[in-house]
Each structure stands twice: as structure tokens, then as C-alpha cells.
Structure 1
């Protein structure tokens, strides 16, 4: 995808604001994601996924020799007659697997230097996951939050559930100081833990800048009974200072403190790079301790391009 400007125009996007057209765009991109379960499904509800445990269900699995205690109603009379030995039919039990999305739209996510804010990229990814889940017949739920508010969505099926979630993304993404409070990443993880059902597939979309011990404990508890996939969303500026000709002083701020960086200074660039490498390595170690699968997404490139390249083994 060479012409990024055309891509932005097609989505009516400027990289900063979020609208429904951007999120509807991913309705036709569901083939980019594979939501097949990797862990044993533990849900007690019937659904469209085959569990690894065998018993009486809807999907035939195999026939084996009859064993004492087997239900005589499950005897496979055709195999029994053909082999001369009593055989029993085994079925693979069907289980339901809801999908939950935790979308971090807090102030640290409202940052981007090349294409999109990290928060916008997170919303694009959340939309793709939601449409993919709907396409597979999974129930979709989750939690969207910023520092002032959060919206919780119980798992539901059908397109109406997806659209409700997408409108929640747009609502929470818009700055609104009318809501008091200081909702943190750890608070979101705590709320998510109450929402998630055993056997679920859980996506956490964030830059994980506020992944503290409390959040770690909640994510670890969730991963005990569900599959957790952590998408770490970053911007190139967070990895390395931009290259410039000569020296250039720039003022940077996190909204609270202001600092001057000297671009073009080799020592400063190395210190910056090593500092952020250490930070991201620590985030990765913590997520690994939470038993989460870690995937990287950049805010500097269209999401679909990154997913296509990952499939081809380029990235």
C-alpha cells in the first residue's frame, strides 16, 4: 500500500479523529485475522467450537471398542457388525467461546508522529476483531476506557452488538472532561476480569505504559481460564529519535513535564534508544509472566498492510 494519503481519504480519516466510516471499513477485511482457538475451550455453554474433551455432543469424532460403563445408546451397530466386536461412538463436545476486547484510549494513546494516533490504530484493530468475531458467529463483548470514563459491553451476537461496541469506541475516544474521575489501566483490567467468562478469547489493545503490578495480577488471573492476546501498539518515535541533518533542539512534553531533546546528537539518540528498549523489554517480560501472547502493531502503517506482511512472513 504505497499511497497512504489515498488510504486515509478512503476512510475519511485524518489520523487523529475517529468516525464510524473508519470502523465500518474493516467489515470486509475479516480474512486478515485468524480467530481459531489455541487453548482448550472451558465454557459450559454449547457453541460452535469443538472442545478437546470427548463425550456426548453434536459432532461425531470416532468409534472405539466398547468399554464397561459406556452408554449402550452410543453403540455403533454398523462398525460392530462389520468388525465382529462391539464399538461405541464418541462425539466431540461443542463449546462456546465469547470474545472480549479491552481497548485503551487513555491520554498516552493519543499520540502519533507519522500516520495515526495509537488510539485510532487501537480502534481500527478493535473493529477488525469485532467484525471477525461476528463473521464467525462468536459473541463479542469488552471494555473501552479513557481516564474519565469507561464503557462495558456484555457479550452479544449479531451485527447490532458490533455496532454498539463501535459507537462506544467513538464516544470514549472523543475528549470529554464532563466525566470526573481518574480511571486507570489497572481499573480496566479489574473490570475486564469480572466480565470475562471461562474459555473466552481476550484481546488487550494498549501501549502498556501503565502496566503495573495490579494490572499484572488481573491479567494473570484472566489467563488461567482464557486465552489472552496482547497487542502492543507503538509509534516509531517511541523507539528511536528521528534522524535530522545537523542539530535541532525540540521541546517535548507528556502533558505534565516539559523537556528539551537535541536531535542529531549521537549520544542522546543512543541513550534514548537504549532507555526505550529497556522499557519495552520490561513490558514484554511482564506480559509473558501473565501468559499472554504478545503481538506488535505500529501506528505508522495501515493495519491491513501490517497484517498482510505478517502473513507473508515479511514482518
Structure 2
């Protein structure tokens, strides 16, 4: 995953990230050559490096961020809700793109609406995007006004703003509930002309279910008591979690889109740093 256009590792501009107006001053570029420093040539022979620094004038590629704020994201057993973790991850990606001067755009969607933001550089565009995420996040309620719409994920991935994306970085942050063949096809289409990364927000509760006792689950309107001592109930929950995991593995194996797992129970910024570092190492291997 790269925030800017890639350069071959052997390229002389692979380590430079400046653009035209940000080129280093001549004194930094030529250094000892302009000052007549005699040890300069000797140092080049010893270390094999150069006194010249090339600059990459390729503009940063646009960054598109897709943020899921559906009712299924309004769940969390500790620290935060999945919807909050997704919003935090999106904000971190936005500020990271802003730091590189990249145009920022994307899609925010819930069960009732899909809001597209055309890519634009600058802090004003970043704040507009973040406010749109915060607005949809604030609309989430324990008693939802709108019925759940699993198909919103594939509709968001097929929106016109993303269809125009090419040569961009696309980050999809969701729990991917309701994803099916159409959603995977939309991801594959995006991945053909862009670099796509999927960030799966999840709550770790299903990974460590209690072996005994009774827990009350509620969706805001109705509630149900589950006895975890009964093997049948535990098995159904495990089957549900396994089906979700297999669907995400399909995205990674068949489409080639890396899937990063984001836990709502841990600090988002720490996880994002760790996940991106691991993904970079995996790509290099």
C-alpha cells in the first residue's frame, strides 16, 4: 500500500517525495560540488552514493475512502463501536493523504443514503469529508428509523465517483456484512485500475465467547436471551463468524485485494500503524 505513485526500487527517484515547488535548494542538492570540497569525490568512491539528489515531480495520486456507517456497524462490546472505529480509521487516512498533498475523495454510506465526495486537495476538502462522516455517525441510533439495507455496500462500491477513479488508492472501511458476488465484482473492477485495500472493522466478542452463562442481546427494539452453555447456540454463532471470515478470505484470495482487520476493542491509531507496516512487508516479500 502506497500513498503516492510507486517508483522502481532501482530508480534514482525512488527515495524522493518532493514535487516541483518543493525541490531542495541548490546548496542541498550540489553540496560539496559547489563548495569545492575535495573529500567529496573520495566519499563517493568509498560509499558508492552520489552528491546529486533527483526529485520526483509526479503529482500524488488521488485517495478515495469508502466509509460504512450502516446500522450493522452500530455495535461494540468494549472500547468503541465498529462505526466509531471505522470513522477514526477514515480520519487517519484522510490526514495522511492531506500530509502528502493528495486529492481526497470517497463515499460515506448508511442504510438510507450514499454520499459521494469528489476528490479535492487541501485541508478544506479534508474537513468537509470528515464532517460528512461525523454527520452519518451521529445519525446512528439503537432504534433505527430506517430498515437495514445489506445491498448498500455494493451500491456504494458502484457509485459514479468511484467508477471514475483510475490510478488511485482506494480504501474501503466496513464490516462487509451483506457482501456477495456483486460487491466482490465491484471490488475487482476497482482493483483492475486502482490499488485497493479493504479494512474490515470487527468486534472480537464472537472470537472469545463465554462457555457458560446467559447474555441478553438487544437491537434497540427487541431482545433475546442466549444461553452459552448450550452447544447448539454456540455452534451457530461460530458458524456465523466462520462464514464471515470465509467471505473475507475470498476477497483476498480471488480478487487479490489485501484485507486488514481493525478491532473496535483496541486503539485505532496503533492498529493502523501496525497493519500498514505489516502489509508493506508482505507486499515486499
Common fold by TM > 0.5: yes
- Over 3 Å counting, the alpha-carbon distance change for 1:194 and 1:268 in structure 2 is closer
> Is the 8 Å Cα contact of residues 193 and 218 (structure 1) preserved in structure 2?
no
Structure 1: gaps of 5 or more residues? 1-33, 42-49, 52-57, 59-90
Higher relative helix content: 2
1:282 CA drift (Å):
2.2
In structure 1, C-alpha distance between the alignment counterparts of 2:120 and 2:227, rounded to whole Å: 51
Counterpart position of 1:302: 267
- Over 3 Å counting, the alpha-carbon distance change for 1:92 and 1:113 in structure 2 is closer
Structure 1 counterpart of 2:258, from 261, 275, 293: 293
Alignment of 1:98-247 (within 5 A): 98-175=62-139, 184-191=152-159, 194-241=162-209, 243=210, 246-247=212-213
1:193 CA drift (Å):
6.1
1:157 CA drift (Å):
0.4
CA deviations 1:40-62 (Å, max 9, x no partner) are 89xxxxxxxx79xxxxxx8xxxx
In structure 1, C-alpha distance between the alignment counterparts of 2:239 and 2:224, rounded to whole Å: 18
Task: Name the SS for the 1:167 alignment partner.
Answer: helix
> Is the 8 Å Cα contact of residues 35 and 133 (structure 1) preserved in structure 2?
no
1:180 CA drift (Å):
10
Counterpart position of 2:234: 269
CA deviations 1:199-220 (Å, max 9, x no partner) are 0000000000111211111111
Structure 2: gaps of 5 or more residues? 15-19, 21-54, 279-285
In structure 1, C-alpha distance between the alignment counterparts of 2:187 and 2:60, rounded to whole Å: 21
Counterpart position of 2:52: none
Between stretches 97-106 and 274-283, larger displacement belongs to 274-283
- Over 3 Å counting, the alpha-carbon distance change for 1:266 and 1:39 in structure 2 is farther
In structure 1, C-alpha distance between the alignment counterparts of 2:156 and 2:220, rounded to whole Å: 22
Structure 2 length as normaliser, TM-score? 0.70
- Over 3 Å counting, the alpha-carbon distance change for 1:192 and 1:116 in structure 2 is farther
Task: Name the SS for the 1:203 alignment partner.
Answer: strand
Task: Name the SS for the 2:84 alignment partner.
Answer: helix
Deviating runs (4+, > 6 A) in structure 1?
38-41, 176-181
CA deviations 1:152-211 (Å, max 9, x no partner) are 111100100000000000111122778999571111111166454210000000000111
Task: Name the SS for the 2:85 alignment partner.
Answer: helix
> Is the 8 Å Cα contact of residues 101 and 141 (structure 1) preserved in structure 2?
yes
- Over 3 Å counting, the alpha-carbon distance change for 1:225 and 1:117 in structure 2 is same
- Over 3 Å counting, the alpha-carbon distance change for 1:309 and 1:94 in structure 2 is closer
1:39 CA drift (Å):
6.4
In structure 2, C-alpha distance between the alignment counterparts of 1:194 and 1:96, rounded to whole Å: 17
Task: Name the SS for the 1:224 alignment partner.
Answer: helix
Counterpart position of 1:70: none
Higher relative strand content: 1
